[in-house]
Amino acid sequence: MMEGSGQWPSSVGINRHSLHLLKSCRFFLPGPCLFFSNLVPLPGSSSVHYGAKMASHIVGYPRMGPKRELKFALESFWDKKSSAEDLKKVAADLRSSIWKQMSAVGIKYIPSNTFSYYDQVLDATSMLGAVPPRYGWSGGEIGFDTYFSMARGNASVPAMEMTKWFDTNYHFIVPELGPDVKFSYASHKAVDEFKEAKALGVNTVPVLIGPVSYLLLSKPAKGIDKTFSLLSLLPKILPVYNEVISELKAAGASWIQFDEPTLVMDLDSQQLGAFTTAYADLESTLSGLNVLIETYFADLTPEAYKTLTGLKGVTAYGLDLVRGTQTVELVKKDFPKGKHLFAGVVDGRNIWANDLASSLSTLQALEAVVGKGIQFSFAFYGLCMKNNLVVSTSCSLLHTAVDLVNETKLDDEIKSWLAFAAQKVVEVNALAKALAGQKDEAFFSSNAAAQASRKSSPRVTNEAVQKAAAALKGSDHRRATNVSARLDAQQKKLSLPILPTTTIGSFPQTVELRKVRREFKANKVSEDDYVKAMKEEIKKVVDLQEELDIDVLVHGEPERNDMVEYFGEQLSGFAFTVNGWVQSYGSRCVKPPIIYGDVSRPKPMTVFWSSAAQSMTKRPMKGMLTGPVTILNWSFVRNDQPRFETCYQIALAIKDEVEDLEKANINVIQIDEAALREGLPLRKSEHAFYLKWAVHSFRITNCGVKDTTQIHTHMCYSNFNDIIHSIIDMDADVITIENSRSDEKLLSVFREGVKYGAGIGPGVYDIHSPRIPSTEEIADRINKMLAVLETKILWVNPDCGLKTRKYDEVKPALNNMVAAVKQLRAKLGSAK
């Protein structure tokens, strides 16, 4: 009904009581009914009209596909085995499938522009035309050549820095910005994908990285003073956002979602003020649109919550109520009247089935605060309840596996405890229907039974393990001798040259190698044949390293599918999937184990392979282990006990393995803690507690070894400068650490006076790019390290493991690395 028309379409299912109510009101509505729930007929009436689906929303969805279709399409394209059109076809099919799936389930607010060929922050960089000059982009719509060069580098220039997305195992491409960047609307992806979905009959909510979070996640470009204020660029990027918003409105969008996850960080008043400034600037362009600001991964501080709920032109607020439990209290205390809460009660970062009864109770309590009212829908010609509360995921489902239906390896009991992305979509809708009075009793009953089964299952608890872990709390588990004395003892035994060279662990895994491993798991290859094939591969890797003249060798890890899954398969308390893949970066996917119960080590896991490798050479051979914190942070972890308790259990299992390796005469043992920094809480007030138990867990693993046994650890692709003192407190003998892709950011901490007495190997080249660095480039990097680190403690190594690279990239890169070291040894020797 238009204002003052007095006419109602004859098809409207409204009883006379409702009609009387409506005629007594004057409506000034900009568009369709925003939210719908059930209408209960008034007394004496029989007519009720449902306007639409329940109030349900998904923040984002996995991109790779249920069988990693995008991964294989990307790698085929990069290898020039398929065309750009082939890649685009796979991508379009995946997007279509996802949108239709959510629509069929009944999700009302379906996201678009959460798909990406590589990374959503890189997509935002492309949208803003913020391409670093070294990629030679001259304007126009950014295509695959420029896009993938920024992500992966090319033959002539390195890739942009990659780092962890908050405290997840997803990596994003860090924007490089400076005062002279000329922003321009250079990628129409958000609009194109909205139109694509609309053509399929699916009305979506386009998602953009919010302007303030984009800047706060950026870094000053090379050559720009590190004190440069990235937020000073806000006036320069907002015109591009205004252009995008205008195009989305013209295309028919009624909602738009801005992801502003940095709101959960510790922000100062200037940073919080930037949000107010940004959305005040966008307000006029956003007029007529419903605007959702989405936050996730942690609680909001009271100051951030006040800032968020005070933003102009904003219709709704998306909050993570799984990791942000204290935010619930802020909502209950003060929620803006007439606004909408997108309540993230379904966990987007783990794979456990939602406790539906508990979530419904939380939602009902919030509904009493947020409220609902009557609204008329022009689009659907009906009276409906406007529900200000929308059921949502806590964050994008990007961080969980795709679909439990594809799992044939999990037993029925464990499977009943789980929900992957596709199942979480169903949970969201089930909660929305229950909140609207249409509770699916059978679904809720089944869920309650699964929750009870998990709590009472005997396979979850091992009393001996719990007692052993509890006993750890009385000691800090430090090695008896200080690191300087240990290094002296190790040098006497190992006799290494100055600037010793090594690699991080893995070597390229060829198609043939993966086939043998796959066939062995499928019982198509005998154990004897499998062991023979693995030993042949190890011998090839050992011979190559000796030929290259690398000092401390690795066996290449041919027997390992993944650095976490490999160990989880041999530990109790773990379960495994067939297709539980999760994107880590680009086309790289990992298959996290599921920790469902107490953890122990039934038998040695790596001793056989390390011993075999050591028998093939007289040079030191590293025993390669994944550390307890990394196993924890790269697994789907049980949520029925504190994470640190599970970590201590894993630490005890790895300790057993370390001691068995030492008994087998493996004198160098690397315990990777690639994910230690990743698990750091987003709030500074929580850092100390996490670092205390995380560092303690690492020390537990090696506290009992001899002084002559050299303990290495490895870390990568995070900002380590703020935890350098905790890294020192780990008390490893040698740490190898990513450095080159982050533009040698790590070295700044040593320039600022931090003293490091243990061995350290900042990476000299980026292994996530196919680019081969020259001898001169590597020598230059080492010289920069020698300017801030003592020669006697410096090691030389790549940034990370070589598993994802090809041999025709690895051989020349390592050859150049060793050549650079030999040049510098000669110079250092002549300077004495």
3-state SS record for 693-754: HHHHHHHHHHCCCCCCCEEEEEECCCCCHHHHHHHHHCCCCEEEECCCCCCCCCHHHHHCCC
∠ Cα 679 682 685 (to 5°): 105
Which residue in this structure is represented by tokens 């006379």? 16
> Tokens for 248?
């989305």
Tokens describing residue 637? 């972890």
Report how far residue 732's alpha carbon sits from residue 668's, in angstroms, rounded to the nearest whole number.
11
Q: Which residues fall within 8 angstroms of residue 82, CB to CB, at 6 or more apart?
A: 73, 76
Quickly tell me which residue has 């996201």 as its tokens: 111
Separation between Cα atoms, residue 570 and residue 559, nearest integer Å = 13
Question: 3-state secondary structure string, 118-144?
Answer: CCHHHHHHHHCCCCCHHHCCCCCCCCH
CA–CA separation, 526 and 168 (whole Å): 38
Give 3-state DSSP helix, strand, coil % of the chain, rounded to 5: 45, 15, 40
Q: Which residues fall within 8 angstroms of residue 752, CB to CB, at 6 or more apart?
A: none
Query: What's the rounded Cα separation, in Å, for the pair 664 and 667?
Result: 9
Number of alpha carbons in the 13 Å side-chain half-sphere of residue 68: 19
- 768 is known as an active-site residue: yes
Spatial CB neighbours of 434, under 8 Å, sequence gap ≥ 6: 356, 360, 440, 444
Q: What would the two tokens of residue 82 be?
A: 């398929």
Give the C-alpha separation, 516 to 282, whole Å.
57
3-class secondary-structure state, position 776: helix
Rounded distance, CA 327 to CA 308, Å? 12
Measured CA to CA, the distance from residue 308 to residue 335 in angstroms comes to 11
Q: Which among 484, 795, 813 has a CA at the least distance from the CA of 622?
A: 795
- Give alpha helix (H) positions in 504-562: 511-521, 527-548
Q: How many CA atoms lie within 13 A of 609 on its CB side?
A: 26
What does the radius of gyration of the chain's CA atoms come to, in whole angstroms?
Answer: 28
Give 658: exposed, middle or buried? Use CB within 10 Å, 0-12, 13-18, 19+: buried
CB 94 within 8 A of CB 429: no
CB crowding 143-156: b at 16 or more within 10 Å, else e: eeebbbbbbbbbee
Query: What is d(CA 384, CA 386) in angstroms, rounded to the nearest whole number?
Result: 6
Q: Torsions phi, psi of 520, nearest 5?
A: -65, -40
Which residues, at least 6 apart from 457, have a Cβ–Cβ distance to it below 8 Å? Answer: 413
Dihedral sign computed on CA atoms, order 264, 270, 273, 274: negative
User: End-to-end CA distance of the chain, in Å?
Assistant: 92
Nearest-angstrom CA–CA distance, 434 and 293: 25
Backbone angles phi, psi at 792, to 5 degrees: -70, -15
CA distances from 788 to 209, 313, 654, 820 (A): 38, 51, 34, 18
CB of 644 within 8 A of CB of 592? no
Q: Which residues are catalytic?
A: 768
